[in-house]
Chain A
Amino acid sequence: MASYVPHTEAEVASMLAGLGLNSIDDLFGVVPEALRLAAGDLQLPAGLPEADVAGEMARLAASNRTGQELVCFAGGGAYDHDVPAVTRALAGRSEFVTSYTPYQAEVAQGVLQALFEYQTLVARLAGLPAANASVYDGASALVEAVNLATAATGRRSAWVSAGLNPRWRQVLATLTAGRETEIHDVALEGGVTAWHQARALGHTAPAALVLACPNYLGCIDPLAPAVKLADELGALVISVFDPVAAGLLRTPGEQGASVAVAEGQPLGTPLQFGGPYLGMMAVSKDHVRRLPGRLVGRTVDTEGRAAYVTTLRAREQDIRRERASSNICTNETLVAVTAMVQLAWLGTCGLRELALRCARGTRYLREGLLSLPGVEPLVDAPVVREFAVCLPVAPEVVVDKMAEEGFLAGLPVEAGGREGLLIAVTEKRTKAEMDAYVAAMEKVAN
């Protein structure tokens, strides 16, 4: 079997002798006899040599259908973008991969400066002045944003658009249950949030209005009505944005959102079955001190050189303990470094080009599908990188049948009591793949 314990038997014997012990079991004399396990009690398989493990992992990997075997048109919060070699190579450097949280700034300038640059890029994407060094994923960023809003306003509820990712909406319900935050849903009309209906629901004024643009159905859901209502109610606006669509769309910040959150996976991280992903989070000036998790600040060292360090540490759980507004400790630093590299590689023009290519592919495939008999838009609002259609066959059936044709067709989705299929197109999808997709759909959805 493989072993990563360097000690030779002679060394172990010598160390035990130095400690005045006879056997390694003597180290555990303090563990009550009744609890102590003997060798083999774990009943896990014996350890394997590295090559055998590689073989087993290759077998498991090959049991998933991916790549050209199952061309991906699914999105819903996880997008199949091209990742350049440089992003993999740089984010894979072992200095970034195998370091801990930068508690000792003098030997962690690499991670700290990369995070400072990441914070800058996220703030620019969101159109807000400050961003944190990441939370777990888009869903957890949403939860943290709602917790920030309740702390900032002293109110206990949030009004959330039905256009939010339904899984994120579930996570929000699960993780705010402890503090009994009330979450009220505001319906969509034609694919955009019907904020005019919200007041009529009769709820007390919320801490925040929450919406996504583009929303889960891919629609551009305008911020202006939410910002206007929030101003009247004295509530914050939390806007979920997409870091790729940000190449084309106006920023949450310039439109009046106080908090902007996003799933950062599209920035250089493969699909990898849903994680690790990246929770991006930016805020307006008023809320910087309420940001959860780590913040990297720029300062100087004893000789006046630029240096970076985690700052406003007193907000965090290890100091504030039960009075902390967030419990986050471990975050997604490596994924944030990945996003930083990817954004730098894309550059100012590249991000716009990427967004444009996604929007073009989306239009091309949508037009192709809508030309098929019985295929209709699920909602009418303009879309940018993802769209939903109604099909003559149940979406779950379509997904299974399209898989046989070599396509991951999309995600079953529901809006206004109608079922549909949510389809995403990235810059990775070619015209030929889309034409083949439409042909397969013609066969399957009949």
Chain B
Amino acid sequence: MSNGQLSNSASQPAGRPSGVAVPTGLAGAAPGGKAASAPLLGRQEEPTIFELSVPGRTSASFRSTGVPEWPAEELVPPNELRPEPPPLVEVSERDLVAHMTRLSHRQYSVDLGAYPLGSCTMKYNPKACDEAASLAGFTGAHPAAPPSCSQGWLELMWSLGEALCKLTGMEAVSLQPPAGAAGELTGLLMMRAWHRSRGRSPGKVLIPDSAHGTNPASVSLAGYETVSVPSDERGLVPPRAVRERLSDDVAGIMLTNPNTLGLFEEHICEIAEAVHAAGGLLYYDGANLNAIMGVAKPGAMGFDIVHLNLHKTFAVPHGGGGPGAGPVAVSAPLAEFLPGPVVARSEDGTFCWHEPRQSIGRVHGWHGNALALVRAWAYILLNGSDGLRKVSQTAVLNANWLLSRLKGSYAVPFEGPAMHEVVVSTRGTGSQLKALDVGKGLLEKGFHSPTVYFPLVVPEALMIEPTETESPQTVAALAEALVEVASQRPDEAALAPRTTPVGRVDEARAARSLVLTWDDVAGAGGRRASDGTYSC
């Protein structure tokens, strides 16, 4: 199929024949995924909140309580009382709203357009999930409230845990880890505790060279040494390479399946058998679960420990970098090692906290990123069994369809059938274009950039994950933009982006002369705007 098959409102009015054959069912419509029409005015600097501060200006007000108004000197010992309040800012609520609204207009987001960041699963997050997470019965609950007062929360956590176990083919789950990397460390510490309970203390964990950086970092924090397993010429983990590295000293292997090249590890059962035979465990990094929900279960592949990224697969919005949630599910022999407490259902149908017998201990100050769990549960209820399967099927369809439109313009280093994401490269196409320039070129055209320079095994890598929530029209427009950028001369491409709130940012200068706070810019003067002039 050529790129002209879907009509594009930028070049022609919707509904008018394009002159190019439109396949049945792919009637032209404006791609919803482009942010190019966003009203990003002016390209001027936004002042910092500190520059908007005026001595004596206030926003805050406090409720009437009738509590006696003792002075600070009667409440805090003199040597501990700070003589002046900490210098913050002094702004009106109106100025604060305007400042933050202008900042929000300088920010790309899923709600604005397509966000094909590979391995990040930036799908649309249903508003119904947001609304569920804003219910006062959830937001107002203190985490130390006794179970008799928190039955709704416990039931939700129990139900979500059961569903995650069904999806992954696991037996038990902890919802405490607040992010994927936290889930990894939790899982690896359970691996360590399991081996120790059997009188063993192996020192190494195998990781493919295509793995996410968090994997080796987590392995190291868990007290293990990383042994890298090279991918083969097809981009897969070869069972032979795994077997060669197995020994008494290997605690297990961490894999992502599909892997970060977007390829399904087809020898997974053989690898699992070999690792288990050597006394090791298999850890599943759930970063790419969006490819296989309702299609295959990690448990059936032989995995013993699975973490899930609820902020990827289960539509928890990513919040500009977090919060996420990284529950860890395990097979039956590992259940007693889970971080405690976990939720259990009593015989009378009520829910309670339960401490696993050999628990590795808490990994979060409370019960994990609870509101993310509400969103994930709402998402699972909305989609159901068939819906989740359709999510994965469509994510894989979109990725493959996108790939078919990029061939010829980009090199495809590993030609296996793609799953939910594709990795292409500018290297080997005859072009001198850098992956970074492609990313910036896409920004200029109103799309977010793919992940660039990852996985590390591919030079000039572009890792693209369209997700299932982008329409074929949007995927076609994205492909068209990628193809256009690929045809640019490197000197031309290096000028992008020119339509964004700022042009290319000087990263080297940021690292060379560190400016991490406004006080680094303004020195004492930056604070003096407030200090000593407040009226409290």
Contact = CB atoms under 8 A, between A and B. Distances in A.
Contact of A273 (B68, B141, B530): B141
B65 A361 contact: yes
Interface string A74-100: 101110101010100110011111111
Given A47-B381, A61-B135, A352-B72, 19 more contacts: A4-B382, A5-B391, A6-B470, A8-B25, A16-B397, A44-B385, A47-B384, A78-B144, A104-B439, A109-B103, A124-B88, A133-B321, A288-B516, A309-B506, A330-B323, A333-B320, A350-B59, A403-B146, A430-B67
B397 A27 contact: yes
Interface stretch (B104-112, B273-281, B426-434): B104-112
B34 interface: no
Contacts of B534: 348-349
Interface string A17-50: 1110000100111111011110111111111101
Interface in A333-353: 333-335, 337, 340-341, 343-353
B497 to A, nearest CB: 5
B394 interface: yes
A30 B416 contact: yes
Contacts of B330: none
A51 to B, nearest CB: 9
Contacts of A222: 79-80
A86 B58 CA distance: 14
Given A272-B370, A334-B323, A353-B536, A106 B146 contact: no
Contacts of B385: 39-40, 42-47
B389 to A, nearest CB: 6
B45 A119 contact: no
Contact of A60 (B23, B130, B155, B365): B155
B18 to A, nearest CB: 15
Nearest to B470: A6
B88 A344 contact: yes
Interface stretch (B8-16, B220-228, B483-491): B220-228
Interface in A353-411: 353-354, 356-357, 359-361, 363-364, 382, 384, 399-400, 403, 408, 411
B468 A5 contact: yes
B414 interface: no
Interface string B134-178: 011111111111101111110110000001001100000000001
Interface string A140-176: 1000000100000000000000000101101101110
Most chain A beta carbons < 10 A, residue from B112, B179, B517 = B517
Contact of B142 (A74, A168, A359): A74
A15 interface: yes
Interface stretch (A65-73, A199-207, A230-238, A437-445): A65-73
Contacts of B111: 94-95, 97-98
Contacts of A345: 59-60, 93, 96
Contacts of A408: 142, 144-145, 149
B454 interface: yes
Interface residues of B, number: 214
B378 A346 contact: no
A211 interface: no
Nearest to B126: A4
A305 interface: yes
Contacts of B449: 103-104
B318 A100 contact: yes
A301 B502 contact: yes
Nearest to A277: B365
B422 interface: no
A250 interface: yes
Contacts of A428: 63
A8 to B, nearest CB: 6
B286 interface: no
A365 to B, nearest CB: 9
Given A18-B404, A271-B143, A337-B320, A32 B107 contact: no
Interface in A163-220: 165, 167-168, 170-171, 173-175, 177-180, 220
Contact of A19 (B43, B141, B404): B404
A307 B223 CA distance: 39
Most chain B beta carbons < 10 A, residue from A63, A123, A273 = A273
Interface in A210-254: 220, 222, 246-251
Give the 9 A-B residue pairs with the shortest CB-CB distance, closest first: A10-B25, A274-B366, A61-B137, A110-B107, A47-B384, A334-B319, A274-B143, A63-B152, A349-B536
Nearest to A137: B365
A329 B179 contact: yes
Most chain B beta carbons < 10 A, residue from A108, A318, A434 = A108
25 contacts: A4-B123, A4-B124, A14-B472, A27-B396, A36-B295, A61-B138, A97-B319, A102-B321, A104-B443, A106-B503, A107-B443, A107-B448, A121-B88, A129-B519, A170-B361, A246-B86, A273-B142, A273-B371, A274-B367, A275-B372, A298-B510, A299-B505, A303-B503, A346-B60, A351-B85
Most chain B beta carbons < 10 A, residue from A104, A348, A350, A356 = A348
Contact of B104 (A60, A70, A93, A382): A93
Given A5-B391, A47-B384, A348 B85 contact: yes
Contacts of B48: 113, 116-117, 120
Contact of A357 (B62, B218, B221, B295): B62
A295 B514 CA distance: 10
Contact of A140 (B50, B148, B178): B178
B468 A322 contact: no
Contacts of A138: 365
Contacts of A354: 60, 62
B264 A31 contact: yes
A354 B139 CA distance: 21
B369 A276 contact: yes
A39 B388 CA distance: 10
B163 A98 contact: no
Nearest to A333: B321
B72 A248 contact: yes
Contact of A271 (B117, B126, B139): B139
Contact of B389 (A35, A39, A59, A97): A39
A37 B23 contact: no
Contact of A95 (B104, B144, B505): B104
Interface string B463-496: 0000011111000000000000000000000000
Contacts of B389: 37, 39, 42
A298 B378 CA distance: 39
A273 B143 contact: yes
B383 interface: yes
B511 interface: yes
B431 to A, nearest CB: 21
A59 B50 CA distance: 44
Contact of B221 (A65, A100, A179, A427): A179
A111 B104 CA distance: 8
Nearest to B340: A170
A270 B371 CA distance: 11
B479 to A, nearest CB: 12
Given A86-B59, A104-B108, A110-B104, A247 B141 contact: no
Contacts of B216: 317, 321-322, 324
Contacts of A30: 263-264, 266, 416-417
B297 interface: yes
B370 A273 contact: yes
Contacts of B536: 348-349, 352-353
A328 B517 contact: no
Contacts of B443: 104, 106-107
Contact of A350 (B58, B107, B387): B58
Contacts of B471: 6-7, 11
A335 B323 contact: yes
